[in-house]
């Protein structure tokens, strides 16, 4: 009897130990393997399908500063802006040209994004709301003209004697920007200048921008964000030469239509286009590396951010992290992650701020780190972001833009490193 009890006790202990083993070793092991199986990228798996085309669209939210007193600004008052939004778009992502490396540890692909306005989530805002916004393309083009008009016009009218050389365009354009006076009043300034030809230039500017009455633009989210604000329509002569100059700069936000006219929009260039070739880790060798970007257009460094500053250019130019649509498994206790965004030519660190849930599923919540837009400068060893390409931009004592602003001139400007 005693023996029997001992045996039972033994079985009890064995069961308990077995239970513990199953509970703590066997099952988590199986779960661990299952997680890896469901996250690593192998052809023909459900995860591969999710990778190929995200099963649900991401939300792409846009907020716009609406200027409520444009004419007062013309008179020298401060602009009053009201943030309107979010205008919400579905962002679908589809990968193409998927190609695995021989050992299956890397996968190459290109990716297309499709944007569709989400009227329901944006309600009561609509795509056709009236907006008064800064005339972005006109402002930046005036800056181009500041640097280049003399040359453009001189070349255009090379038959004319050097009177043109003396046209004080630069002075005048500076006045436009500084006083934000309407284009028409430039005609007045033009008349005050001694040179007749100046008049001509301002007429040309009106031709290019369709007689703007202020530095602001009346538009709608549909036009401003995607369809495009038309300019350089039916231009001839000097205006055409200036438009050609704009075209040569190959700016992402400006597209040239078949008839030679142009359109400015913030995001049209992202819709149904590819943003380069990615090479990412499939995670088959090390699950913790799943979806980590190894190369973008065959490179692991950009050349967009400045080299010369004390801040190591590595900080700004290095391509790393994921593209934000997938992450390696086993995120528990991961305090920081990195996302690479080709839109802004840089990586963004995100940090863990606590647990959360999404439709009942436990989740970890991450937010962008302060070094994204706020803590930038030599004291944070990332002044390579301070490229200082914006003429007359207001900078802090450390030579960088104020919190919340990032100079994307080198990112949006001429394609210096489009590689592929
Ligand atoms: C934007 O401001 C203008 C006034 O400048 C106003 O007419 C318009 O309704 C505003 N738009 C929105 C969406 O608030
Ligand atoms: C993006 O492009 C597609 C296809 O050309 C078009 O149907 C869609 O309306 C565009 N999205 C936006 C927001 O304009
Ligand atoms: C330029 O041409 C005009 C008219 O042909 C002439 O009056 C003027 O003296 C010329 N200027 C110079 C600097 O040659
Ligand atoms: C940055 O440094 C690299 C390597 O030293 C050099 O090849 C490149 O030309 C530099 N780029 C700029 C913009 O200075």
What pLDDT was estimated at residue 27?
Answer: 57
Specify the residue with its C-alpha closest to ligand 4, atom 1.
307
Across 67-71, 165-169, 308-312, which has the greatest mean pLDDT? 67-71
What pLDDT was estimated at residue 197?
Answer: 47
Sequence-distant contacts of 167-171: CB under 8 A, at least 24 apart: 167/195, 167/197, 167/198, 167/201, 168/193, 168/195, 168/198, 169/145, 169/198, 169/201, 170/146
What pLDDT was estimated at residue 189?
Answer: 41
Please report which confidence band the pLDDT of residue 369 belongs to, taking 50, 70 and 90 as the band edges. Answer: very high
Specify the residue with its C-alpha closest to ligand 4, atom 11.
307
Residue 52 has pLDDT above 80, yes or no: yes
What is the rounded average pLDDT of the residues 249-258?
A: 87
Segment among 48-57, 176-185, 398-407 with least mean pLDDT:
176-185
What pLDDT was estimated at residue 230?
Answer: 94
What is the rounded average pLDDT of the residues 290-311?
A: 86
pLDDT tens for residues 310-364?
556 678 999 999 988 888 888 777 889 999 998 889 999 999 999 888 889 888 8
Higher pLDDT pick, 48 / 73: 48
CA distance 314 to 320: 11
What pLDDT was estimated at residue 195?
Answer: 46
User: Does the beta carbon of 129 lie inside 6 Å of ligand 1?
Assistant: yes
Using only the alpha carbons of the chain, give its radius of gyration. 28
Measured in angstroms, how far is the CA atom of residue 75 from the centroid of ligand 3?
A: 38
Residue 370 has pLDDT above 70, yes or no: yes
What pLDDT was estimated at residue 276?
Answer: 92
What pLDDT was estimated at residue 160?
Answer: 41
What is the rounded average pLDDT of the residues 265-290?
A: 92
36, 66, 126, 304 from 83: Cα distances, Å: 43, 6, 15, 30
Which atom of ligand 1 lies at the shortest distance from residue 70's CA?
Answer: 5
What pLDDT was estimated at residue 413?
Answer: 66
Residue to mutate (ligand 2; options 59, 271, 273; most atoms within 8 A of CB): 271
User: Does the beta carbon of 217 lie inside 6 Å of ligand 1?
Assistant: no
Specify the residue with its C-alpha closest to ligand 4, atom 6.
307
Please report which confidence band the pLDDT of residue 309 belongs to, taking 50, 70 and 90 as the band edges. Answer: low
What pLDDT was estimated at residue 7?
Answer: 56
pLDDT tens for residues 180-237?
334 443 334 444 444 444 556 667 778 888 877 778 889 999 999 999 999 999 888 7
Q: Chain-wide mean pLDDT for the chain?
A: 79
3-state DSSP of the chain: CHHHHHHHHHHHHHHHHHHHHHHHHHHHHHHHHHHHHHHCCCCCCHHHHHHHECCCCEEEEEEEEEECCHHHHHCCCCCCEEEEEEEEEEEEEEEEEEEECCCCCEEEEEEEEEEEECHHHHCCCCCCCCEEEECHHHHHHHHHHHHHHHHHHHHHCCCCCCCHHHCCHHHHHHHHHHHCCCHHHHHHHHHHCCCCHHHHHHHHHHHHHCCCCCCEEEECHHHHHHHCEEECCCCCHHHHHHHHHHHHCCCCCEEECCCCCEEECCCHHHCCCEEEEEEEECCCCCHHHCCCEEEECCECECCCCCCCCCCCHHHHHECCCECCCCCCCCCCCCCEEEEEEHHHCEEEEEEEEEEEEECCEEEEEEEECCCCCCCCCHHHCCHHHCCCCCCCCCECCCCCECCCCCCCHHHHCCCCCCCC
Residue 70 has pLDDT above 80, yes or no: yes
Please report which confidence band the pLDDT of residue 163 belongs to, taking 50, 70 and 90 as the band edges. Answer: very low
What is the rounded average pLDDT of the residues 62-75?
A: 87
Ligand minimally distant from the alpha carbon of residue 317: 4
pLDDT tens for residues 90-136?
999 999 999 999 999 999 999 999 999 999 999 999 999 999 998 88
């Amino acid at each position: 009897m005693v023996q029997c009890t001992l045996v039972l006790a033994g079985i009890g202990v064995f069961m308990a130990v077995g239970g513990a083993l199953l509970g703590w070793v066997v099952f988590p092991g199986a779960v661990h393997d299952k997680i890896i199986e469901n996250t690593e990228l192998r052809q023909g798996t459900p995860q591969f399908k999710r990778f190929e085309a995200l099963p649900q669209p991401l939300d792409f939210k846009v907020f716009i500063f609406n200027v409520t007193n444009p004419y007062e600004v013309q008179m020298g008052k401060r602009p009053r802006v009201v943030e309107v939004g979010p205008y919400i778009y579905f962002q679908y992502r589809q990968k193409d040209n998927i190609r695995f490396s021989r050992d299956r540890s890397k996968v190459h692909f290109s990716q297309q994004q499709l944007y569709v306005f989400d009227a329901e989530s944006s309600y009561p805002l609509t795509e056709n709301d009236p907006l008064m916004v800064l005339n972005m393309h006109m402002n930046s083009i005036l800056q181009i003209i500041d640097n280049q008009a003399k040359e453009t016009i001189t070349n255009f009218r090379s038959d004319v004697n050097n009177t043109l050389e003396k046209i004080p365009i630069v002075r005048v354009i500076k006045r436009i920007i500084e006083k934000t006076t309407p284009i028409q009043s430039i005609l007045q300034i033009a008349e005050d200048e001694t040179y007749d030809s100046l008049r001509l230039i301002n007429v040309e500017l009106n031709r290019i921008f369709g007689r703007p009455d202020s530095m602001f633009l009346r538009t709608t989210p549909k036009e401003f964000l995607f369809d495009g604000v038309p300019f350089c329509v039916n231009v001839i002569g000097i205006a055409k030469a200036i438009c050609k100059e704009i075209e040569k700069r190959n700016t992402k936000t400006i597209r040239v239509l078949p008839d030679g006219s142009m359109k400015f929009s913030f995001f049209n260039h992202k819709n149904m286009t590819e943003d380069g070739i990615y090479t990412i880790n499939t995670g088959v060798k090390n699950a913790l590396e799943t979806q980590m970007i190894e190369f973008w257009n065959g490179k692991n460094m950009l050349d967009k951010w400045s080299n010369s500053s004390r801040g190591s250019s590595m900080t700004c130019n290095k391509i790393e992290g994921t593209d934000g649509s997938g992450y390696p498994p086993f995120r528990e206790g991961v305090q920081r992650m990195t996302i690479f965004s080709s839109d802004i030519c840089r990586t963004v660190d995100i940090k863990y701020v606590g647990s959360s849930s999404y439709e009942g599923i436990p989740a970890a919540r991450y937010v962008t780190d302060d070094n994204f837009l706020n803590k930038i400068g030599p004291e944070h060893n990332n002044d390579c972001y301070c490229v200082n390409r914006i003429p007359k931009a207001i900078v802090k004592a450390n030579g960088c833009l104020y919190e919340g602003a990032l100079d994307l001139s080198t990112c949006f400007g001429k394609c210096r490193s489009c590689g592929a």
